[in-house]
Chains A and B, each alone.
Chain A
Amino acid sequence: MSSVLVVVEQREGRIARINSEAIAAGRQLAAQLDLSLTAAILGVQAASLAAELAFQSLNKVICVEHPLLAQYTPDGFCLALQQLIQNERPTQVVLPHTYQVRDYAPALAARHGQVLIGDVIAIGHGPMFTRQLMQGRLNGTYHHSGPGPCFVSIQAGAFRALAPGSAAAPIETFTPAIEPAQIRTRPSEPFRASTHTVDLASAQRIVSVGRGIKAAENLPMVQDLADALGAELAASRPICDSGWLPMERQVGSSGQTVAPKLYLAVGISGAIQHLVGMKGSQCIVAINKDPDAPIFEVADYGIAGDLCDVVPALTEALNAAGR
């Protein structure tokens, strides 16, 4: 029976939530296409994680083990998964849209003459796959028509993970053939660049600033607002790329993930890379000149206007209100 194969990613011996969401997307595809659902996990000593996966209402779990998979490399993962796909013949391959998947999945798909449909936020009948275009300002719907398997990666938070069930799926082991000479890249252990002196994660209130401030000279105005709120100042990536604020104040997929009581986004359009870092905030306020900016998708309160007018007015109103 042909199947949907979900490739689960482990990091430091743990399975992150996005993998359960990818399994949920796989389950949706399997139901729509009447296919069985298999999950695979790669690495060394992945057996305990495979045992954990077995409770996620799957038909089968495959533990793909090889000493050369102990550390992630694109060559090792492509070789292992190519052989697994040859063995299992899935018609759909579902992956979590992580930095690791972005590094190897396009090559894996190309090796099969296919193209990954990446960062998918919804699956409709057909199946049709929806992903975001133009920095989240537009949605696009895609279909797959190639002869080989359809490769799909799933955006974090887009699908609802199920709680584990009580029945365990059978676990198989698959040992790919990989030679050391086939691994061309030599990765180091991950490291953190600097010690974080700013702990945004524990801040109760955050004022975060984006590309919309236009010039570094406008930063003090936003700092005044942060002071009036008793908030930490943070930023989206472009501000840190420009060197206007240090990297340690960056919120988003490459920076810190925060969930304060109040998150006030100033001049941030709301690309997904930023949203994943702050959408768990209790109350989100957005100030942006474009009323259709994606940040308003997640905001509780919004003011569409020129931040150079709105920010000082807000600082003044807060100060007048005794804050």
Chain B
Amino acid sequence: MQISDEAILKAVDRFAAIRGEGTLANLLAFGRVLKETGVKVSLSQVIDASRSLELVDIARRDDFRAVLRSNLVSDKEEMPLFDRVFDRFWQEHGFEEPPMESVEMPPSSAEQKGGDSADAGGSLEEIVAQAASQEAKLSEEAERFPVPTYSPHEALHKKDFSEMGIEESRAISRAILLIATKIATQVSRRKKRAAKGEEIDPRWTMRKNIKYGGEIIQLFSRKRRIKKTRVVLLCDVSGSMDCYSRFLIQFMYGLQNELWGVETFVFSTSLSRITHLIRTKDIGSALERISHSILGWSGGTNIGRSLCTFNRDFAPSLVTHRTVVVIISDGWDRGDVGLLEREMRSLKRRCHKIIWLNPLLASENYEPLCKGMQAALPYLDLFLSVHNLNSLIALGRTLQKMVA
């Protein structure tokens, strides 16, 4: 899940050409190496970093590191990578030899050396201009030799949820949390001015009435903005979904606890509402309570019957034209396909959007051939896979667009 040491060394070598010629050039090369390995660094940050270096005693390696890190890194997750690149870059360079001093330039950049090596004390503007041209050159170069881009969770992003261990679930929790908060911020706490609202807006009333010489003639009121979304989550917990159950629980739990207006159900051969069971801060005990109170966990599947129960008992009070219904299931149905289709149709009429998340969708030879899935397909607004972190992040974006 991490970028290899060789890749870092390779990046260091690639940018050796623009090293030397003072701190800024060295820093720019360092910035490029960071960028290459996946840390987002902008030119202005590099320039600030070089300004900062003038303020501290760079002979102290830990200070030197702290200065560069605080300027160039802006995410905790990037720090370990920064440290590794830092060690490679500045060590190979020989730290005892202060980075201020110029270093022998490789012959490849001879044409640059010609004009610039003389102005070691050149003005900052010149150096920056030169640096910018080098940047441009390098990015051209980078285009010619595409280098695989790196993301801190790369391997994790692609790993199937069914293969994940406990440590990795933290990253998932974080992704879910981000999804949840993305949706949650759609629900505004701000108040807006309204002709007919719940309460008088004194500030606005006074402001508007100044034109009448301070006589209160017109009243202005305000009300809460409408809560935009409601999510109903229907999770398949039958035997065929077993390997995804940990993820499912985390997903249900995460969404439920971070969002306002989420209702959670699980189904296998029958449907149970578990909203109240997972409304707790402790995921461990939530798990226990769910498994105690639900029959048919890891059993067979009857999606049609479960949907029928949902439509009859819960949909009238929970589903409105603003509701997004999320179904997580592999679509292996042992029940009556005709019933499934009928229920999908009636659910579709009632709600805003239906999203079906299928963990199997990612496997190469999967096609939604099973009858249940085929019956449901025409009624779906979105048919997505949730098998790894990437797909989860994609889901977050899609959800945000849908409820906006």
To the question of whether A and B form a pair in one complex, the answer is: no
